[in-house]
A and B are shown apart, each in its own frame.
Chain A
Amino acid sequence: QSVLTQPPSASGTSGQRVTISCSGSSSNIGIYTVNWYHQLPGTAPKLLMYANNRRPSGVPDRFSASKSGTSASLAISGLQSEDEADYYCSTWDDSLNGMVFGGGTKLTVL
């Protein structure tokens, strides 16, 4: 059972907009910024979004993220086949005094 809750799966067709949610609590998302990672099949995870809504250099603006209260979400617009991957949210948790991850969401592009 992960500290951060994500839907196990999500899907969309090419060109669509999809969102992935990440639910936490007052000891993590409620007080810390959220980061997102994506993991293409057979590869290492890679930083996708950080500090709630900032994109690292090289990440297309099709990707966006937001945070409200104890929840966060990742949005992907103009869905492409290469977006098919696992997506993870992460932040610090004061109760555990450590980093926590969501269980991951497998995105399928239909």
Chain B
Amino acid sequence: QVQLQESGSGLVKPSQTLSLTCAVSGGSISSGGYSWGWIRQPPGKGLEWIGYTYHSGTSFYNPSLKSRVIISLVRPKNQVSLNLSSVTAADTAVYYCVRGADWYRFDSWGQGILAMVSS
């Protein structure tokens, strides 16, 4: 069973870049048929899809975040990375790493990491 574990900067200053990493175990990010991405949840609010990428290099991003987001696969380390630039307080959220499978489902989730944007 694949497991996902997020890590990274828990506190980011406004206008800076939020960088998170997701370590994948129990499966390879290079295996076909799956996408790897991120979903976030502001405190007390619902889920917001950020985007995902395939091992082929094809990526899909939330249009509202597309200009600020890059999701990459770090193959040697079997990790998924998220970079969100020019952050504001509105980007404060719990960020979940997810594996996407067929039928547009997210079948594996990390435990989540809280990232706060504050000066």
Residues of A participating in the B interface, judged by any CB pair closer than 8 Å? 2, 32-33, 35, 37, 43-47, 50-51, 54, 56, 88, 90-92, 96-104
Interface SS of chain A: helix, strand, loop or mixed?
strand
A100 B106 Cβ-Cβ under 8 A: no
Chain A residue, CB-CB nearest to B107:
A47
Scan residues 33-91 of chain B and give those whose CB is less than 8 A from a CB of chain A.
39, 46-49, 51, 60-63
B106 A47 Cβ-Cβ under 8 A: yes
B interface, size bucket:
20 to 34
Residues of B within 8 A of A56 (CB): 107
A98–B60 Cα distance when bound, in Å, is 7
B104 A90 Cβ-Cβ under 8 A: yes
B47 A45 Cβ-Cβ under 8 A: yes
Residues of B participating in the A interface, judged by any CB pair closer than 8 Å? 39, 46-49, 51, 60-63, 96, 103-107, 109-112
8 A-B residue pairings within 8 Å (CB atoms) = A33-B103, A37-B106, A43-B111, A44-B111, A45-B47, A88-B47, A96-B62, A98-B51
Residues of A within 8 A of B111 (CB): 43-44
A81–B17 Cα distance when bound, in Å, is 41
Chain A residue, CB-CB nearest to B106:
A47
A92–B106 Cα distance when bound, in Å, is 12
Contact of B105 among A50, A98, A104 (CB under 8 A): A50
**Minimum distance in angstroms from B98 CB to a CB of chain A:** 9
A32–B106 Cα distance when bound, in Å, is 15
Contact of A46 among B60, B62, B109 (CB under 8 A): B109
User: Given A45-B96, A98-B60, A101-B48, are A33 and B110 also a contact pair (CB < 8 Å)?
Assistant: no
A99 B49 Cβ-Cβ under 8 A: yes
A102 B46 Cβ-Cβ under 8 A: yes
A101 B46 Cβ-Cβ under 8 A: yes
Residues of B within 8 A of A97 (CB): 60, 63
Residues of B within 8 A of A98 (CB): 49, 51, 60-63
Residues of B within 8 A of A91 (CB): 104
Taking A45-B47, A90-B49, A98-B51 as known contacts, 16 extra A-B pairs with beta carbons closer than 8 A to each other, sorted by chain A number, are: A35-B103, A35-B104, A43-B111, A44-B96, A44-B110, A44-B111, A44-B112, A47-B107, A56-B107, A92-B104, A98-B60, A99-B49, A100-B49, A101-B49, A104-B46, A104-B47
